[in-house]
Amino acid sequence: MKLLRYGASGAERPGLLDAQGQIRDLSAYVPDIAGDALAPNALARLATLDPADLPPVTPDRLGPPVAGVGKFLCVGLNYADHARETGKEPPAEPVLFAKAVSAICGPYDDVQIPRGSDRTDWEVELGIVIGTRAKYVDQARALDHVAGYLLVNDVSERRFQSERGGQWTKGKSHDTFGPIGPWLVTKDEIGDPQAIDLWLDVDGQRRQTGNTRTMIFGVAHLVSYVSQFMTLLPGDIIATGTPPGVGLGMTPPTFLREGQVVTLGAAGLGEQRQRMVQA
């Protein structure tokens, strides 16, 4: 299934995308795409519905496809060639950092360039959505705790990230720096999360092309690894890192400006589009 949320910011309603590309309302069956609705039995019940029996809708806006996100975790430098383009060596263990949940926005919402920013950058990523509580899980069972996958643009302000003291969070957490969606694709539709093509364009020019098979640490490893340090709960998101081609790695480094448009996509997970605006 492709689950989504539609409507004005803060007033989204649950829905799904049918096989013909029509959005259908799910409000009669689930209060939101969040929490217990992401559990395997809840998703199985939704899968029994005939989309043709659900009301069709044509919304003005798609919101983030998951509500009530408790943790938005990210993995840095998880593609060796991306690590090297930023001047770092590939890590021996996953590099974890947090992105504020207030950064989350819809897949087509404008992205704000922060005040004082001159190094706002792009990062196309595969996102993991947790479906059931995970603590000290091993890799063999890690995917049992995954509800599905979604597309993430891990927008970053590189000066704030690297030159303003502390760790990376302040360069990753500005409002709108976490576009997710357009939909949550349940894991039964993704045969192998380590075989997903990723791409990103800026103003129609290709900047990133990659595939999740080149991750240093795969999805199962990441879920298991993170669960050794904290309990993962339904709705938590793990952004798994970006392939090469970010603005920081260009010669010379090139960053986003007001009015530019970023489009990105992942095979089976849909596409996003964001216009850059000043905060």
Instruction: Output the pLDDT for position 165.
Output: 83
Instruction: Output the pLDDT for position 166.
Output: 78
What average pLDDT is seen over the chain? 96
Q: What is the pTM of this model?
A: 0.96
Instruction: Output the pLDDT for position 146.
Output: 98
Instruction: Output the pLDDT for position 162.
Output: 87
Instruction: Output the pLDDT for position 188.
Output: 96
Greater confidence (9 vs 81) lies with 9
Does the pLDDT value for residue 71 go beyond 90? yes
Instruction: Output the pLDDT for position 80.
Output: 81
Are residues 174 and 164 in contact, defined by beta-carbon separation less than 8 angstroms?
Answer: no
Categorize the per-residue pLDDT at 88 as very low, low, confident or very high, splitting at 50, 70 and 90.
Answer: confident
What mean pLDDT comes out for the span 166-189?
95
Does the pLDDT value for residue 89 go beyond 90? no
For domain 72-278, which CATH number applies: 3.90.209.20, 3.40.50.720, 3.90.850.10, 2.70.98.40? Answer: 3.90.850.10
208's enclosing H/E stretch is: strand 205-211
Q: DSSP for 210-225?
A: EEGGGBSS-HHHHHHH
Does the pLDDT value for residue 83 go beyond 80? no
Does the pLDDT value for residue 7 go beyond 80? yes
Does the pLDDT value for residue 87 go beyond 90? no
Does the pLDDT value for residue 246 go beyond 80? yes
Greater confidence (57 vs 168) lies with 57
Categorize the per-residue pLDDT at 118 as very low, low, confident or very high, splitting at 50, 70 and 90.
Answer: very high
What mean pLDDT comes out for the span 178-203?
97
Q: DSSP for 146-198?
A: EEEEEEEE--EEHHHHHHSSS-SGGGT-STT-EEB-S-EEEGGG-S-TTS-EE
Rounded distance, CA 160 to CA 103, Å?
15
pLDDT tens-digit series, residues 144-154: 999 999 999 99
Does the pLDDT value for residue 199 go beyond 80? yes
Q: Where in the chain is the domain with CATH 3.90.850.10?
A: 72-278
184-186 and 13-17: which strand pairing? Answer: unpaired
